[in-house]
Amino acid sequence: MNSQPIYMYAANAQLLAKLVERHARFVIVGGFAVQFYLPERQPDDLDLLIDPVVTNTNLVVDAVNSGALQNYSFEPAALAKRNIQWPVKNYYYVDILTPDEATEFECVWATSVETEVAYQPSPIRVRVAGISTLIAMLSSSEDEKHKRDIELLGKLDDVHKQKV
């Protein structure tokens, strides 16, 4: 497993710092999470799975809109629903996601791994989805890169289970 900090586009790291500062609950999923386990994987945008409770969605929308070059008009209550994707792409390069019907945020949180994102003046402590969670989330995709991610993550998951 990668013990180095995660490096990303500065504005995205800035958003993570704002989310952490507000104590918003989120887990990194998608390409950056896969890269955490498989450093050769090149991620695209940053995917964040958020806890879809209204108190948290208020924190998320506030963090997105604080300091950005524009206000992203999105009602926090809309993020309190399942299977929402909010693309935040003008200043940041992020997709904010809520769990689908088959995913419980608390389970994702409980099986996630804490790591650091490189940021100045100091790294940001964040959570990255666990291998089994990533495999489950990617399993509905027909995208070839996701099929490859599942195959490689599956091998890592098997090795991890053998060590436990």
SS3 64: helix
Low-confidence spans in the chain with pLDDT less than 70:
1-3, 67-70, 157-164
pLDDT of residue 164: 42
Contact 35, 6 (CB under 8 A): yes
Helix or strand run (H / E) with residue 117 = strand 113-117
pLDDT of residue 134: 94
Q: Residue 96's closest CA among 79, 71, 77, 117?
A: 79
pLDDT of residue 159: 52
pLDDT of residue 120: 87
pLDDT of residue 58: 95
Tokens for 104? Answer: 């419980």
Contact 41, 29 (CB under 8 A): no
Q: Residue 124's closest CA among 69, 48, 30?
A: 48
Fold of 10-131: Beta Polymerase; domain 2 (3.30.460)
The pTM score is: 0.91
Contact 112, 133 (CB under 8 A): yes
d(C-alpha 14, C-alpha 64), whole Å: 10
CB atoms inside a 10 Å sphere around CB 42: 9
